Amino acid sequence: MLSPPADARRRERGDGTGLVRGPGRQYSFSMPCTTLDTTLTVLHTGTVIIDEALPYHRDTDRPLAWAHLLRGPEHLMTAPVSCYLIEGTHGLILIDSGWGSVNRSRAGRFANLRQQCCVNRAVLPQGQAIDEQLEERGIRPRDLDLVLLSHLHCDHADGLHHLKEAPRILVSAPELRAASRDRLRYLPHEWSDTGIDAFRWNSPVGPYGAGYDPFGDGRLVMVAVPGHSWGLCATILRSSSESGSDRDEWVEGVDAQGEDDPRELVLLASDAGYGRPSFRQGLRPGLVVDADLAAASLDWVRRVGTDPRCRSLIVNHDPEVVPGPRRL
């Protein structure tokens, strides 16, 4: 099991929620339950132009190929930047925040993304920022019951300042600690005006036995899939429908040990993989903090995709994923 580092800036209180709370911040996850089906809406908050070696590492790649160093434009690709709106039993939940509107001007993009602007080239058309897409649906940031971050890389955290009125914004403790120390991979100004807190693992799931179940019912579980970043999380979303499949075909780590859950699920794999080459060829990301962890995390995600309970495997930057609602 992963042993998440302690976050020196925060106090842990053993209240059973798995939440690492800052002083004076009190949280309750007793959100209203309904009988409504859960709807997952994929939102594309612009795109990112990156070198193909960043999402898909090959052994023949030169060092720093993922940074587009000494490589021509033929190696560039465009990928969507996704967020996920979940509406159902536990209210309104948002995963990730996409690009912020500051990136719409060249000057704003350079000032905001700084040393990363040439590695991650942000493109954000009008109407595609996360607050704009929520407003289009009649949702204000303060209406969100929970915002979860898969990790804190710029294309996932840059829109957080649009969401600062949200009552709860959480990321894994290992990720928040890494972001406080690594100023090359992270841009802390993106969330400096946001009340972001950390959660600790409270559910032994995933490839490393480290997950976070904020509601305690298995409907939504953040699962540690480190490698691309130290605190990267995938998300298991379970439906109310049960699979009649043989338990012998179920993949280890989808359920906590001794807890067989027959419900069908969707796996949001974040940046553990990027698209079809990740899953067909087993190509891990080129940008990693630990290549072995990244490869092992991707291997687990690929296996979950073969679990008969898994309806869909969705990664954040897959150009083949069409935005819009899906009923779980």
Note down pLDDT in tens along the chain; length 328 residues. 443 333 333 323 333 344 443 333 333 333 333 335 799 999 999 999 999 999 999 999 999 999 999 999 999 999 999 999 999 999 999 999 999 999 999 999 999 999 999 899 999 999 999 999 999 999 999 999 999 999 999 999 999 999 999 999 999 999 999 999 999 999 999 999 999 999 999 999 999 999 999 999 999 999 999 999 999 999 999 999 999 899 999 999 999 888 899 999 999 999 999 999 999 999 999 999 999 999 999 999 999 999 999 999 999 999 999 999 999 8
Residue whose tokens read 């296996």: 303
What's the DSSP call for residue 297?
H
Copy the structure tokens of residue 118: 């040439």
* pLDDT reported for residue 36: 52
Domain limits of the chain? 35-327
CA triplet 247, 248, 249: central angle to 5 degrees? 85
What is the CB-side half-sphere exposure of residue 127 using CA atoms within 13 A? 2
The CA distance from 56 to 14, in Å, is 40
The CA distance from 140 to 182, in Å, is 32
CATH of 35-327, one of 3.90.1150.10, 3.60.15.10, 3.50.50.60, 3.40.50.300: 3.60.15.10
Q: Classify 209 in phi/psi space as left (phi over 0), alpha (psi -120 to 50) or beta.
A: left
Q: Determine how many CB atoms are found less than 10 A away from the CB of residue 85.
A: 20
CA distances from 29 to 38, 142, 171 (A): 17, 15, 16
* pLDDT reported for residue 303: 98
Residue whose tokens read 């991650």: 120
Residue whose tokens read 């300042």: 161
Return phi, psi of residue 197, to 5°. Answer: -125, 170
* pLDDT reported for residue 281: 96
237 within 8 A of 38, measured Cβ to Cβ: yes
Copy the structure tokens of residue 192: 């400096």
The CA distance from 168 to 147, in Å, is 6
Q: Determine whether 260 is exposed, middle or buried from the number of CB atoms within 10 Å of its CB (0-12, 13-18, 19+).
A: exposed
The CA distance from 48 to 143, in Å, is 28
* pLDDT reported for residue 271: 98
Closest CA to 136 of 37, 43, 39: 43
The CA distance from 58 to 198, in Å, is 34
